[in-house]
Amino acid sequence: MFFNRKKKTIVLYYSQSMGNTKKIAERIADKKSYDIEAIETIKKYTGSYDDIMAQGKEEVESGFRPEIKPFTHDILSYDKIIIGSPTWWYTIAPAVSTFLDNYNLSNKIVVPFVTYGGYEGHSLADLQEGCKTTKIVNPKSIQFDAENLNQMVISEKELDFWIQSL
Ligand SMILES: Cc1cc2nc3c(=O)[nH]c(=O)nc-3n(C[C@H](O)[C@H](O)[C@H](O)COP(=O)(O)O)c2cc1C
C-alpha cells in the first residue's frame, strides 16, 4: 500500500582529493543497500594538492559554482537523501553548492555529512542550511587525520553505529 511504501533512499557524495567522502558514502550504500551516485564536475580539477587548495580557496571566496554532470538516477524521486561533502575552506565544496542550488530538497528527509582534515569550520551547518529542509536527521562530521589525509580519526565502530541509524 502506498502509505506503507518503504522510503526510497539515495546516497549522494562529492569526493575530490583522497576519496574519503566516497569511501564513507560507499560504506553506507553497501551496508544499507541504498542507491548511490557521485556529484561530479564537468571540468575536472587538475594540478597538485596545493594547486587545488588554492583554486578551492578562490572558488569558495568568490562563490563560484562549477557545472556538474547530470545524474543517472532520478534524484527527486527519492524520499530520503544522504549527502556528503568534503570540507573546503571551512565550508562545503563548490560542486555541492551547485547541486544544492539546482535541486529543491525542501520536501526531503536529508542526512548531511562532511569529511574534514582537522578543522571542519561551518561546513556541516552550511550543508544543512543549503538543503533548505526542516527534515534533517543524524547529521555527522567525520574527521580524517590532518597529516595522514586518508586516515579516519573516528573509530570504525563509531562510523558503523551512525550508519546503522540511517
Ligand atoms: C580545496 C580544499 C580545501 C580544504 N579545506 C579544508 C578545511 O577548511 N578544513 C579541513 O579540516 N580540511 C580541509 N580540506 C581537507 C578535506 O576536507 C579532507 O581531506 C576531506 O576528507 C577530503 O575529502 P575527499 O577525499 O572526499 O575529497 C580541504 C581540502 C581541499 C582539497
The predicted-structure confidence for 64-81, as pLDDT tens digits, reads as follows 999 999 999 999 999 999
Ligand 1 centroid from CA 3, angstroms = 41
Ligand 1 centroid from CA 57, angstroms = 11
Fold for domain 2-164? Rossmann fold (3.40.50)
| Cα(111)–Cα(119) distance, integer angstroms | 21
The predicted-structure confidence for 76-132, as pLDDT tens digits, reads as follows 999 999 999 999 999 999 999 999 999 999 999 999 999 999 999 999 999 999 999
* Predicted structure pTM score: 0.96
Across 14-147, the runs of DSSP E, i.e. the strands, are: 35-38, 80-88, 91-92, 109-116, 140-143
Ligand 1 binding pocket (C-beta < 6 A) is: 15-22, 52-53, 56, 86-90, 115-121, 144, 149
